[in-house]
Chains A and B, each alone.
Chain A
């Protein structure tokens, strides 16, 4: 699986958009970009995934660059409950194993 690079931490003001970057310069053509988050030792929670088109769901938006070497997760209106560690993963869609690295610790401040 391609490796990903994320900033270790970031702060965000409540009500503002949070933009979380992820670099995956060695991504292969059949690998998707997945985002999960984990709120303080709870079970990881799926957020969104995409292959090359931008995606949006009720939780977030995913912007993938045209060369697919990087992506950005956007939380449009961050709330205090969005404080969590966010993980960017790249893997084929038929590989169900998840491997989390350090992720980005996002702290939403009032």
Chain B
């Protein structure tokens, strides 16, 4: 089954304690991205990656890092989490190129609470 998986699904942590949210896709997609979703602010892109070793900032990259060492994985790293990073996080992937079908898939989400 084609899917994007994220772990953990729920996480409570404290300010300053480094954490990593993993994202993996089994569709051999080149494009992957991370979003955060907050009430009243909608869905905002944090980082994206067009391919292995190619990453770029989205709209709200401050406080986050990513890496893309292999095609299937795109972890999101919070080196020193702060309470304003409390949010619902989604990973997404798709195959670039125009196509008749928008094949962007989202993971189930990771709900993060930073105390």
| A86 → B minimal CB distance (Å) | 13
Contact among A34, A42, A99 with B108 in the assembled complex (CB-CB below 8 Å): A42
Contact among A41, A100, A101, A102 with B109 in the assembled complex (CB-CB below 8 Å): A41
B interface residue count range (under 10 / 10 to 19 / 20 to 34 / 35 or more): 20 to 34
Comparing A14-22, A63-71, A74-82, A90-98, the segment that makes contact with chain B is A90-98
Interface pair A42/B109, CB less than 8 Å apart: yes
Q: Which residue of A lies closest to B107 (CB)?
A: A43
Interface of B is mostly: strand
Q: Report the count of interface residues on A (CB-CB < 8 A).
A: 17
Cα A17 to Cα B109 in complex, Å, equals: 30
What are 23 A-B interface contacts by the 8 Å CB criterion?
A: A41-B88, A41-B109, A42-B108, A42-B109, A43-B107, A43-B108, A43-B109, A44-B43, A44-B106, A96-B31, A96-B48, A96-B96, A97-B33, A97-B45, A97-B59, A98-B43, A98-B45, A98-B92, A99-B42, A99-B59, A100-B37, A100-B42, A102-B42
| A66 → B minimal CB distance (Å) | 22
Given the contacts A96-B48, A98-B45, A45 and B109 also touching, CB distance less than 8 Å: no
